Structure 1
Amino acid sequence: MDKTIKHGLFFLLLSLLALGFWFSADFKTIVAGIAIFLFGMLSLQQGFKFFTGGILERILRNATDNTLKRLLFGITTTTLMQSSSLLSVLVISFISAGLLDLAAGIGIIFGANIGTTTGAWLVAGFGLKVNISGYAMPLLVFGVLLQLTKQKSYQGIGHILLGLGFLFLGIQYMKDGFDAFKGSIDLSQYAMTGMRGLLTYVLVGIAVTVIIQASGATMVLIITALASQQISYDNALALAIGSNVGTTITAVLGAFGANIKGKRLAGAHVLFNVFTGLLAIVFLRQFSWLVDFLCGHLGIASDDYTLKLAMFHSVFNLAGVMIMLPVSGLMARFLEKVMQEKRASVDLPRFLTASALQYPETAVESVYQETLHLYDNATHIVLKALGLHRRDVYSEQDLNAVVGRYGIIKDYDIDDAYERNIKGLYSAIIEFISQARFTWEMKQSGRLHWLRQANLKLVEAVKGVKHLQKNLLKHNRSYNRYQADEYDRIRYQVAMVIRELQKIKDTEIVNELPLLSLDALKGRIKEQHQAAIESIESLIREHKISAEAGTSLLNDYTYVYDIQSNLVRMAETVFVNHAAESVKAEKELALTDHEMLEVIRPKQAVDHE
């Protein structure tokens, strides 16, 4: 039903445009100007996306230390890109991936609202004063030439130059269209005064922005219409307020592909813009007086309505930020309380969102965070199958005592747990990685490949414990104490690896040597496996257990070794190599499998002596 309505509205818009083209050539010029301007914005956004393979993301991550940095980042980035929409999508994807918290995202969005007002200043102060299309031509020529190169950075700059060229060209077309339009139709005759006029034109501003999906383009349209005296100054102020409120629809649409964290940021965007719009409506007279006062001190003529409109746009957005910024933390807590994640019977992905796919860095971080989510579920299932609890295994208690305390293993439905907590997440991770269409020259693609392998190892570990569970339930309380002791040793060895991996996971990479810890753990696993084989052979020779029981134990120790090895291989990628830049020196110290065997053999020889 929703799709039918959308298609209907789309074809209605096309029909109205065709009707307008038929009746007025000047209307055609104005709409063409809007289309060229929007195409310029898209080109500009595409150009900046060429620099989002890590550069912009690193800047964004470092620009969230404090409130001032967040504001400045939002202002600067939106001023350069002339698109708060691109920044909103980027911030939503970072929040969805867990790279930013909600409070930091709110601060950046506040800055973006101030930054988006700079476009009005550029158009009113420069675009309408000169023949701006003359500047567009060289930009378009150089932009096309740079597009023909193979170097991606040059292509990105080419997109940016093309975007600026089309922006300038679109502004000129809109200006010329309105200048010609007033010769045949005078829109100023539809000017409305008072509260009725204010609310009507606010709604018109909202509607135009929703249709165009760019508040910057709406503001350019308003300024060019005002410069051609097609609308009154008072109605232009109302339209500016409406465009500010209408841009929240873009944020809401951008949040459709985000998780609950991204939706909360879109909610903050809506709250801020609606509040700012209401503030401007209620105190319009006071804002108008302040604009006149500031313009008078800056030497702006009292009848230069385009610059006064730009001033008004900046002033009421700045006032909204000044009022809302001190309560941004309260707003974040309110949204977190009101917009809560729905609990599902099947565990769903928390970080894999459509918005995260748009940027390599956020795509990798989303998979990394989701892998940690899958790891938590997997270790929970493994330990439950062993009859143990994570809180005890992760504690400082003696692990042998913990295993002894939980002597009776309860039957645990691993198949059901796998369906609810593993299968769906793993499938979602694989599908997400397959959709991340980044070129293999980029380092992010290699990291995605290794993260996919790490997730496979987790799934294999869970499947391994499923094979192990049957004999554990049957023999761990065996009347043969030697057999029962071996199955307790099996539980201990798996729990030991999970405890050690948790310590490595919690290790500060910069200050410790987690790779060396993994080397030690690998050596310990190999040593334990060899010792278990020798122990079982000895028990069979001494007739302490039957050959049949011994064979089952040997098979089960093979499962244990596979479970341990899969978990360790996963940890190498997820807990250590994800911070690859920090551990290059450790890799030089890390031991190969062959070197570990050389270390283990002499020790075993000494033990035999």
Structure 2
Amino acid sequence: MIEFIFGLIGGTALLMYGVDMMGDGLERASGKLMKKILSVLTGNIWSAFFVGIATTVLVQSSTAITVLTVGFVNSGLMNLSQAIGIIYGANIGTTVTAQLMAFSFKFKLTEIALPVLGLGFAISYFAKKDVIKNIGSAIMGFGIMFLGLKILNSGVPFIQESESIRLFFQDYASITIIGIILGAVATALVHSSSATVGLVLMLGQAGVITLPGAIAIMLGDNIGTCITAQLASATGNINARRTAWAHTLYNIIGVAICAILIGPFINLIEFFTQIMYGSSEIGLQIANSHTVFNVVSALVFLPFHKVYVTFLEKIIVDKNEDTFEHLDKNLLTSPVAAFQATLQETLRALDIVKHMIDKSLTALYENSMKCLDEINKDEDILNKIQIDITSFVVDISKQGLTNQYSAMIPAFINSINNIERVGDRTIEYLKNISTKVDKQLPFSELSQKEIDVYKNILTTMISITIDSIENRDYSKVDEMKRLEDQADSFYNALLDNHIKRLENDICNVESGAIFVDLIGHMERMADHLYKVYMTLVDENLLSHL
């Protein structure tokens, strides 16, 4: 009995660890494929659906993809409709694990667990390229998963001989509603549908559970897997919570329909397995029930997708509909997603700086105190963004990154620091502008025109940087260098012009001091913006995002 319990615990632990390791290795080996989850940001429901399937097959965890999707929605990187499409696909993609486990029992693949584990270790240990190392890790994950299944399978004789275990599953699990509750509770506790499926396959192999009982537990497994997304969305915005509830209600509705039609569904699974494999092997039937259920659920919901989205928007409401947590911690599970969110937040910081420059000069020309208040609020937001990005990037660095992603850590920290310095310089010259507003000091028309030229240099540099990042355009290096050089030379020219105006009594002395301070800050702001461009508009960085 003790040996069986230890084997059950250890085998389940190895199974869960193996699936996670396999998914992590595959994800890191195919980082660019994970980018596809971001490509649906402007896509339709069908592209989101297929991306959900592909990425979940890659990661081998619908829970991970669903939590990641909640993070995207909470960050404002994805809308509710796209997120739900990914969830439809993720539920199908995760059934690949069940198929692998069923085949491992059917064709005795568990017997090659140790050789596969050894092969994966050798590849991971001796390979020099990160991609090959990650493939080795994924193969090790396969081996560990098979080893966990082998240990679980070793408990079959004990289960077959145990009258109490056999009677429990015959008396209770075969009752559909009880089986559903068992599956939901078990999956919610271990946060892994793969573990529940593995245990059900073991029970099926032992002959202590019938197909109706196994299907009931599998249906509950689909409900239990929703708990993680609910927890992830608890502190999120309204659309993050809608996404989690979309996942939960989708599975509950599908399970309810299937439970009502359990008889025809069992007949369908038996027929499908016989046609596909020419077999009535219960392990294959269990795996197929998992796949068929999720495929049919998706096909039922897809035609009514817009109605479902509207329904969720009606029943889950909040006053603060448009608030976003741009750097959601749920994104940390995927470096690509986390850095993509960081990049978007960096672009937001650039937009804020551009707004601060525009508003500061409006305050200068129009003597507007209202503009000054707006700029100070923008500076507070910018300071928070700097702190948030730095903290978030440090959290990303703790995830175990490949070399290509590790290089992004200093790039983003340096960039946001330079952007924040542009904001700081705006605040510094704002003090003098405030003095001008208070004293209603005059500014010559020629001085204003010269400052406008400087402002255009700065805002053009910001626009080029944003456009280059969004369009992955690396051709503006020379133009940025020309603008930065122009800012340097323009400073000296404006200083000479200013001295001449003072000599000719065209310019007020106190206004002149403000002018000199302003162009000095603007010249240094151009230096910071050039550094931001040269750091971020780098093909080696952007090609991985």
TM bin, normalised by shorter chain, reads: 0.7 to 0.9
Asked whether 1:279 is paired with 2:257, we answer yes
CA gap 1:334/1:426 in 2 versus in 1, 3 angstroms: farther
Find the residue that maps to 1:387 and give its secondary structure. helix
Relative to the length of structure 1, the TM-score reads 0.76
Asked whether 1:114 is paired with 2:92, we answer yes
Asked whether 1:457 is paired with 2:418, we answer yes
CA gap 1:248/1:73 in 2 versus in 1, 3 angstroms: same
Kindly indicate whether the alpha-carbon contact (under 8 Å) linking 1:540 and 1:547 is maintained by their aligned counterparts in 2. yes
User: Which residue of 205, 214, 221 maps to 1:227?
Assistant: 205
Alignment of 1:52-131 (within 5 A): 54-61=31-38, 70-79=48-57, 81-92=59-70, 101-124=79-102, 126-131=103-108
* Alignment-derived partner of residue 302 in structure 2: 325
Quote the Cα distance in structure 1 between the aligned partners of 2:441 and 2:106. 96
* Alignment-derived partner of residue 294 in structure 1: 272
Find the residue that maps to 2:106 and give its secondary structure. coil
User: Which residue of 2, 18, 25 maps to 1:47?
Assistant: 25
Alignment of 1:158-169 (within 5 A): 158-169=136-147
Alignment of 1:140-289 (within 5 A): 140-149=117-126, 151=128, 152-191=130-169, 197-255=175-233, 263-289=241-267
* Alignment-derived partner of residue 385 in structure 1: 360
Structure 1 window deviating more from structure 2 (226-235 vs 533-542): it is 226-235
* Alignment-derived partner of residue 429 in structure 1: 389
Shift of the alpha carbon at 1:239?
Answer: 0.7
* Alignment-derived partner of residue 368 in structure 1: 343
CA gap 1:553/1:140 in 2 versus in 1, 3 angstroms: closer
User: Which residue of 13, 30, 33 maps to 2:8?
Assistant: 30
* Deviation readout 1:508-553 (Å, 9 max, x if unpaired): 8578954444345335434542332122211222234465554443
Quote the Cα distance in structure 1 between the aligned partners of 2:310 and 2:4. 51
* Alignment-derived partner of residue 599 in structure 1: none
* Alignment-derived partner of residue 353 in structure 1: 328
Shift of the alpha carbon at 1:115?
Answer: 2.7
Quote the Cα distance in structure 2 between the aligned partners of 1:103 and 1:28. 45
* Deviation readout 1:157-200 (Å, 9 max, x if unpaired): 33222222222222222233132123133323235779993212
Kindly indicate whether the alpha-carbon contact (under 8 Å) linking 1:387 and 1:410 is maintained by their aligned counterparts in 2. no
**Letter paired with 2:117:** L
> Which structure 1 residue ranges, 5 or more long, are not aligned?
1-22, 389-402, 583-609
* Alignment-derived partner of residue 492 in structure 1: 452
Kindly indicate whether the alpha-carbon contact (under 8 Å) linking 1:226 and 1:306 is maintained by their aligned counterparts in 2. yes
Kindly indicate whether the alpha-carbon contact (under 8 Å) linking 1:387 and 1:409 is maintained by their aligned counterparts in 2. no
Structure 1 window deviating more from structure 2 (363-372 vs 407-416): it is 407-416
Find the residue that maps to 2:163 and give its secondary structure. coil
* Alignment-derived partner of residue 309 in structure 1: 286
**Letter paired with 1:386:** L
Kindly indicate whether the alpha-carbon contact (under 8 Å) linking 1:476 and 1:485 is maintained by their aligned counterparts in 2. no
Q: Name the structure where helix makes up a greater proportion of residues.
A: 2
Shift of the alpha carbon at 1:132?
Answer: 3.8
Kindly indicate whether the alpha-carbon contact (under 8 Å) linking 2:246 and 2:312 is maintained by their aligned counterparts in 1. yes
Quote the Cα distance in structure 2 between the aligned partners of 1:259 and 1:30. 40
Kindly indicate whether the alpha-carbon contact (under 8 Å) linking 1:96 and 1:356 is maintained by their aligned counterparts in 2. no
Quote the Cα distance in structure 2 between the aligned partners of 1:455 and 1:97. 18
Shift of the alpha carbon at 1:372?
Answer: 1.8
Kindly indicate whether the alpha-carbon contact (under 8 Å) linking 2:467 and 2:473 is maintained by their aligned counterparts in 1. no
CA gap 1:231/1:381 in 2 versus in 1, 3 angstroms: same
Quote the Cα distance in structure 2 between the aligned partners of 1:386 and 1:163. 59
Asked whether 1:558 is paired with 2:535, we answer no
Shift of the alpha carbon at 1:246?
Answer: 0.8
CA gap 1:581/1:200 in 2 versus in 1, 3 angstroms: closer
Alignment of 1:446-525 (within 5 A): 446-475=407-436, 483-485=443-445, 488-489=448-449, 492-493=452-453, 495-497=455-457, 499-501=459-461, 503-504=463-464, 505-506=466-467, 509=471, 514-525=476-487
Kindly indicate whether the alpha-carbon contact (under 8 Å) linking 2:242 and 2:313 is maintained by their aligned counterparts in 1. yes
Shift of the alpha carbon at 1:221?
Answer: 0.9
Quote the Cα distance in structure 1 between the aligned partners of 2:138 and 2:472. 38
Kindly indicate whether the alpha-carbon contact (under 8 Å) linking 2:346 and 2:416 is maintained by their aligned counterparts in 1. yes
CA gap 1:278/1:476 in 2 versus in 1, 3 angstroms: same
Structure 1 window deviating more from structure 2 (332-341 vs 126-135): it is 332-341
Quote the Cα distance in structure 2 between the aligned partners of 1:334 and 1:494. 52
Quote the Cα distance in structure 2 between the aligned partners of 1:546 and 1:116. 73
* Deviation readout 1:543-575 (Å, 9 max, x if unpaired): 34465554443233212333444345445555x
Quote the Cα distance in structure 2 between the aligned partners of 1:73 and 1:112. 8
Quote the Cα distance in structure 1 between the aligned partners of 2:37 and 2:270. 37
Find the residue that maps to 2:63 and give its secondary structure. helix
CA gap 1:255/1:44 in 2 versus in 1, 3 angstroms: farther
Indicate the RMSD between aligned Cα atoms, in angstroms: 3.8
**Percent identity at matched positions?**
23
Kindly indicate whether the alpha-carbon contact (under 8 Å) linking 2:45 and 2:82 is maintained by their aligned counterparts in 1. yes
Asked whether 1:417 is paired with 2:390, we answer no
Shift of the alpha carbon at 1:272?
Answer: 2.0
Relative to the length of structure 2, the TM-score reads 0.83
